[in-house]
Structures are given as C-alpha cells and as structure tokens.
Amino acid sequence: MKNLILASTSPRRKDLLKKLNIPFTTFSPNVDESVNQKLPPGEIVIMLSSRKANVAAQQFPSSTIIAADTIVVSNEKILGKPKSRKEAKDMLCELSGKRHFVYTGVTLVNEQHTESFYEKTAVDFWPLTDQEIEKYLDNGEPFDKAGAYGIQGLGSLFVKSIQGDYYSVVGLPISRLFRLFMEKRLVPYS
Ligand SMILES: Cc1cn([C@H]2C[C@H](O)[C@@H](COP(=O)(O)OP(=O)(O)OP(=O)(O)O)O2)c(=O)[nH]c1=O
C-alpha cells in the first residue's frame, strides 16, 4: 500500500481513520470552501472533499490521499461551521425539535484511482430550551462543527434518534471507506 495521507485538520477524522489500523500521516488542506448552495447536498460534500484531496494530491502525487467534508441540512438550509455565537445559536434553534440530515462526502485519490462517495444520516433532535442552548454555547463545543453540535460530545444529549452511520455524523463514514479500500485492494484484508 502506498503512503496514506489524511488531508484533514479534524482530530475526529484522524481518530476514526486509526480504526483501519493502517499507518498514515496528515496534511492540512487549505481550500476555499465556498460553493453554490443550490447544488444537491451530496454533490456539495463530494465537491468539497475532492477539493481537499486534490490540493494534497498535487503536493504528494505518489501517495494515496483521503479527504472528507461534512455539512448539516435542515429544511433545505445548509449549515456549515458557525462563525459566531449568534450563528451557532441560530443553527441550534433551527435544529431543535426536528429531523435534519448530515451529509459526509469522502474522496480517495491516488495515481490509479479517484473515487468519491457520500453518506446521508438522518438525526432527530429533542426540542431544546433556550437555557440548554446557552449552556452548550458556553461550553465551546459547537464552534468547529457543522450544524454547531457534536454528536460525540455533549451534543449527544440533544439527539433523540439517528438513522444511518453514526461515524459519518462525526466526520468519516469509516465502514464504507474500509469497503472502498478492500474493493481497490488498498488494505491487506481482501
Ligand atoms: C454534525 C457533526 C459534525 N462534526 C464535525 C465533522 C467535521 O470535522 C466538521 C465539519 O467541518 P468540515 O469542513 O467537514 O471539516 P473540518 O474543517 O473539521 O476538517 P478538514 O476540512 O480539515 O477535514 O464538523 C462533528 O464532529 N460532530 C457532529 O456531530
């Protein structure tokens, strides 16, 4: 297997990729994440994960690169990472008491392959009180996460149910990625 690089600054993605038990290094992809918000969400996350992967591939052409992107979609509104406390509060109010969808796109690039896929997970939130939201904002957890919550952290207390891949919500659909690695014979399990 070629040298594997995770093109991501996300500590969660790093922890999840460790589950594959393959050595890898990380690279911080500096990409413009602006995108036409009218595109279907699956296309958006594939486009953004491809941008991240391609930046890394230009720098490390003989490596295998993995990159991902996660967005939250509620009532057709796309929620990325909040830029302020107000934006985070607006996002949590939007998600309160409703179902939303988390999309994570993944791109794998090396000299032989360019492969992308996305996972869509439905998440139902309990109705949230203003006090709960303010306390959560004080904790600081929302600010580096799409939709202003972390299902793996205190945000778990807001989640009534989920349908789909939990790890995709955290930022990397690891079982589907593992299957792609096997299909492309990038891991020695196949
Ligand atoms: C909904 C949700 C998102 N997230 C995270 C996953 C992603 O890291 C982040 C969405 O932002 P992304 O732009 O997908 O990723 P990132 O900026 O953290 O990292 P990089 O682009 O360098 O790979 O939100 C959680 O950790 N838990 C959650 O429950």
* pLDDT tens digits for range 124-138: 999 999 999 999 999
Domain membership of residue 25 (yes or no) is yes
Residue of the CA atom closest to atom 9 of ligand 1: 145
The domain total for the chain is 1
Domain range enclosing 168: 4-183
Residue of the CA atom closest to atom 16 of ligand 1: 10
25-50 per-position pLDDT tens digit: 999 999 998 999 999 999 999 999 99
Q: Say if residue 75 is exposed, middle or buried (CB neighbours under 10 Å; 0-12, 13-18, 19+).
A: exposed
Domain membership of residue 96 (yes or no) is yes
Q: Is the CB of 81 under 6 A from ligand 1?
A: yes
CATH of residue 174:
3.90.950.10
Q: Quick check: 6 and 61 in contact, CB under 8 A?
A: no
Domain membership of residue 134 (yes or no) is yes
Q: Which of 15, 32, 69, 90 is catalytic?
A: 69
Domain membership of residue 190 (yes or no) is no
The position carrying tokens 């778990």 is: 156
Domain membership of residue 53 (yes or no) is yes
Q: What is the ipTM of this complex?
A: 0.98
- Of the candidates 113, 119, 75, 79, which has an alpha carbon nearest to the alpha carbon of residue 97? 75
Residue 130 three-state SS: helix
Domain membership of residue 189 (yes or no) is no
Domain membership of residue 123 (yes or no) is yes
Residue of the CA atom closest to atom 4 of ligand 1: 145
